[in-house]
Amino acid sequence: MRSWITDAQNTWCPGCGNFSIQHALKAVLDDLADEGHPPETFVLVSGIGCHAKIADYMNMNTFYSIHGRGTAAAAGIKLARPDLTVISCAGDGDAYAEGLDHLIFGAKRNTDITVIVHDNRVYGLTTGQYTPTSKMGFPGRSTPAGVRESPINPLEVMLASGATFVARGYTRQMDHLKSILKAAILHRGFSFVDVLQICATYNNLTDYYNERIYLLDGNDTGDFDAAFRTAREWDYSSDAPIALGIFYRQEAPSDIWGPPGTVSAEQRREEIGRILQEKI
C-alpha cells in the first residue's frame, strides 16, 4: 500500500484541524487508488499559511503557489494537463481575502478542480489576525478591540458565483468529511468544500461547533434555492445551527476555455523565439 504521508517533520500545533483534513484526504486518495485512479494522476496545490505545509506532508505531486493563487495555479495545471485530477488546498485568509477573485472565476468557469478550504477563521501562521470569516467581535492580533465587520459567507459567494458543487465539512466529523471530499474530487466541474476546523492556538471553536453542527439528510442537492436558504441559516457569526454536507451539486459544461489550442510544441517554440527576437 502506498504511504501518502511523507517523513517531513510536521510543525502543525497539537490538536490542529489540519491533521484531520490531511488524513481524510489520505483515506480518500487510498480509496480512489484502489478504484483504479493511479496515484501519479493526482496533483495537490497549496497556497501560503499553516494549511500550505500539507504540500510537504503529502507523498504525491504537489505545488506550492503564492498567497491566494492556489485556485489559479490549479486551474492552470488542469488546463495544461486535463488528464490530471487537481486538488487545491487553501486557508480562509488565503482563499477568501487574497485569493477571492481567483476563487470566483474558478467557479464562474466551472473549472474542473476541487478547492478545499481549511477554514479556521484566523491567520494562524502570522499569529492570530482576523480573516474574512472571523466572527463579528473577534479580538485578533490586529483588532484587539474586536472585529467590526460582518464575516462573509463563503457558501453564499460560491453559489452566487456558479460553483456546481458546494459543501461544508467539519474536522471532528471525519467519516462525513471523507465522504464529502470523495464526492467533491469525483465531481466533474468546480467543486468547493469549506472545512470548519479549529486553530488550537488562536481560535479554538471546538465547543462552539460541537453544540451547533448538524448533518444534512435527504436534502435535494439539485435545488439551488434550497441550497441558498440552507447556506444562509448560519452567517459565520450568529449562534444559529450549522449545516454540514453537500448543499448543491449540478452537472454542467466545464473547462469552457478548453485546452490551449492546436498549436504544436514546435510552432509554440518558433512563436516564442520570434517574440523574443523582436524584443532584443
Answer whether 154's CB lies under 8 Å from 194's CB. Answer: yes
Amino acid at 164: T
In this predicted structure, the answer to whether residue 9 has a pLDDT above a threshold of 90 is yes
Using DSSP, state whether 72 is helix, strand or coil: helix
pLDDT classification of 261: cutoffs 50, 70, 90: low
C-alpha–C-alpha distance, residues 95 and 118, integer Å: 9
Q: How many CA atoms lie within 13 A of 12 on its CB side?
A: 23
Phi, psi values for residue 113, rounded to 5°:
-135, 165
Cell of 136: 463579528
Q: What would you report as the CA-atom Rg of the chain, rounded to the nearest whole angstrom?
A: 19
For residue 248, list its beta bridge partners.
Answer: 166
pLDDT at 101: 96
Please choose, from the candidates 43, 144, 143, the residue with its C-alpha nearest in 3D space to the C-alpha of residue 88.
43
The percent of residues in the chain predicted with pLDDT above 90, rounded, is 87
pLDDT at 259: 63
Pairing state between β 165-170 and 242-249:
antiparallel
What's the rounded mean pLDDT across residues 231-246?
97
46 or 257, higher pLDDT: 46
For residue 191, list its beta bridge partners.
Answer: 114, 165
C-alpha–C-alpha distance, residues 194 and 264, integer Å: 39
Least confidently predicted of 37-46, 176-185, 238-247, 248-257: 248-257
Answer whether 57's CB lies under 8 Å from 75's CB. Answer: no
pLDDT at 183: 98
Please choose, from the candidates 218, 234, 267, 8, the residue with its C-alpha nearest in 3D space to the C-alpha of residue 133.
234
Q: How many CA atoms lie within 13 A of 120 on its CB side?
A: 27
Which tens digits make up the pLDDT trace of 129-146? 999 999 999 999 999 999
Which tens digits make up the pLDDT trace of 197-227? 999 999 999 999 999 999 999 999 999 999 9
pLDDT at 255: 66
pLDDT at 273: 84
The percent of residues in the chain predicted with pLDDT above 70, rounded, is 96
pLDDT at 235: 97
C-alpha–C-alpha distance, residues 39 and 1, integer Å: 11
Rounded to 5 degrees, what angle do the CA atoms 255, 106, 79 make? Answer: 40
pLDDT at 276: 83
Which tens digits make up the pLDDT trace of 146-173? 999 999 999 999 999 999 999 999 999 9
C-alpha–C-alpha distance, residues 56 and 67, integer Å: 16
Reported residue count of the chain is: 280
pLDDT, mean over the chain: 94
What's the rounded mean pLDDT across residues 266-273?
78
- Domains (range + CATH), the chain: 17-278 (3.40.50.970)
What's the rounded mean pLDDT across residues 162-185?
98
Starting at the edge strand that comes first in sequence, how are the strands of the sheet with 114-119 ordered? 61-64, 42-46, 85-91, 114-119, 191-196, 165-170, 242-249, 213-215
Helix axes 100-108, 154-161, angle to 10 degrees: 40
For residue 90, list its beta bridge partners.
Answer: 117
pLDDT classification of 257: cutoffs 50, 70, 90: low
Answer whether 126's CB lies under 8 Å from 142's CB. Answer: no
Answer whether 102's CB lies under 8 Å from 71's CB. Answer: yes
Which tens digits make up the pLDDT trace of 52-104? 999 999 999 999 999 999 999 999 999 888 999 999 999 999 999 999 999 99
